[in-house]
């Protein structure tokens, strides 16, 4: 539930408040093969209520908007939100569906799919690092010719900046967004031997208006500087591509067909092969691959969409301290879902 309110101060100036509350019976991020009703990720209890956003703002039509409180930072969801295909929720580069599911292997190692290409505790899994709401001061510029800028700073200590563009040219819809953020360990973890991190992300979406053919590309690169003499982990890279067709076969609304592929390099993290110290993962190489297909049907009269999809996920890990012959089983699943906007 999201509650918003604002009042006009003078012509072109307003102030307001936003409160967003999430009531959860089962959280997809914490649900697994052993936990059918996962607790709310932010409060740790089932049937929990968690505050996602609570902030006040002052807005000028000419100068932009300043917000203060718990909210999405400028770099939260930057790359993912350029997706205008209608398939953003069922198909994206975050491990919403399988974050806490275990990866089966032949050596008894304990690793979950969310850590197969990790953000090192930075509030995301695979992509969208810096994906948790935080207490920040945020500025959003007005939109000029399709361009806008955002920046935020807060909690001890993070800062970020993001730039966005959206427009239509020669029969093509185009949306581009990029963001850079730096985060210290206190924001998400605290304690010793957890990293300070830098993350850059980019999202590009193109759609041919006449035919409905579309393409999406997301890219993220992460550098983690471990404390207490641990290594600097460079270039944890994640690439995500989605291609498809948005068309209309019936009176209900648009039908979206898509295929997706994700490739993650050197991001395996957690108790990988019994390696519990984050610094000891230095020298480990990993590659995670995800590919999938899906169909989304929109129902315009109900502001609704339903879908069916298939995904295959695989992981390979190697390095000087990795036992020879280690193998991880692929993970295959079919999912169905629906979304109603109200």
pLDDT at 45: 62
* Assigned token pair, 76: 């939260």
Contact 256, 243 (CB under 8 A): no
CA separation for the pair 112, 95 (Å, rounded): 10
CA separation for the pair 54, 21 (Å, rounded): 9
pLDDT tens string 56-106: 999 999 999 999 999 999 999 999 999 999 999 999 999 999 999 999 888
pLDDT tens string 38-64: 887 766 566 678 888 999 999 999 999
Where in the chain are all domains bearing CATH 2.40.160? Answer: 79-340
pLDDT at 271: 54
Contact 178, 159 (CB under 8 A): no
CA separation for the pair 39, 37 (Å, rounded): 6
CA separation for the pair 45, 49 (Å, rounded): 9
Residues of the chain with pLDDT under 70: 42-47, 185-195, 226-234, 270-283, 321
Closest alpha carbon to 51 in 60, 42, 39: 42
222, containing H or E segment: strand 213-225
Paired sense of beta strands 134-140 and 64-71, if any: antiparallel
CA separation for the pair 312, 267 (Å, rounded): 18
Q: Which CATH number fits domain 79-340: 2.40.160, 2.60.98, 2.60.40, 1.10.357?
A: 2.40.160
């Amino acid at each position: 539930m999201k509650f918003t309110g604002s009042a006009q101060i003078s012509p072109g100036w307003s102030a307001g408040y936003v409160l967003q509350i999430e009531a959860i019976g089962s959280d997809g991020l914490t649900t697994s093969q052993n936990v059918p009703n996962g607790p709310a990720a932010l409060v740790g209890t089932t049937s929990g209520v968690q505050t996602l956003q609570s902030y006040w703002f002052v807005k000028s039509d000419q100068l932009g908007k300043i917000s203060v409180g718990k909210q999405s930072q400028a770099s939260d969801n930057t790359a993912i939100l350029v997706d205008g295909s209608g398939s953003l929720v069922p198909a994206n580069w975050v491990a919403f569906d399988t974050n806490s599911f275990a990866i089966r292997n032949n050596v008894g190692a304990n690793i979950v799919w969310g850590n197969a290409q990790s953000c090192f505790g930075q509030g995301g899994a695979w992509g969208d690092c810096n994906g948790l709401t935080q207490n920040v001061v945020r500025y959003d510029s007005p939109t000029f010719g399709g361009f806008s800028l955002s920046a935020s700073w807060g909690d001890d200590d993070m800062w970020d900046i993001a730039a966005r563009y959206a427009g239509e040219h020669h029969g093509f819809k185009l949306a581009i967004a990029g963001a850079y953020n730096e985060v210290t360990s206190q924001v998400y973890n605290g304690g010793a031997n957890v990293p300070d991190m830098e993350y850059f992300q980019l999202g590009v979406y193109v759609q041919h208006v006449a035919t409905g053919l579309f393409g999406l590309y997301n890219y993220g690169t992460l550098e983690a500087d471990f404390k207490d003499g641990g290594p600097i982990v460079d270039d944890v890279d994640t690439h995500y591509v989605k291609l498809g067709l948005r068309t209309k076969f019936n009176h209900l609304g648009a039908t979206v067909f898509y295929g997706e592929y994700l490739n993650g390099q050197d991001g395996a993290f957690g108790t990988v092969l019994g390696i519990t110290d984050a610094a000891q993962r230095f020298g480990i190489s990993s590659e995670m691959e995800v590919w999938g297909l899906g169909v989304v049907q929109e129902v315009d009269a109900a502001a609704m969409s339903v879908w069916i999809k298939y995904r295959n996920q695989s992981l390979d890990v190697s390095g000087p301290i990795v036992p020879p012959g280690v193998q991880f089983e692929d993970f295959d699943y079919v999912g169905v879902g629906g979304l109603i906007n109200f």
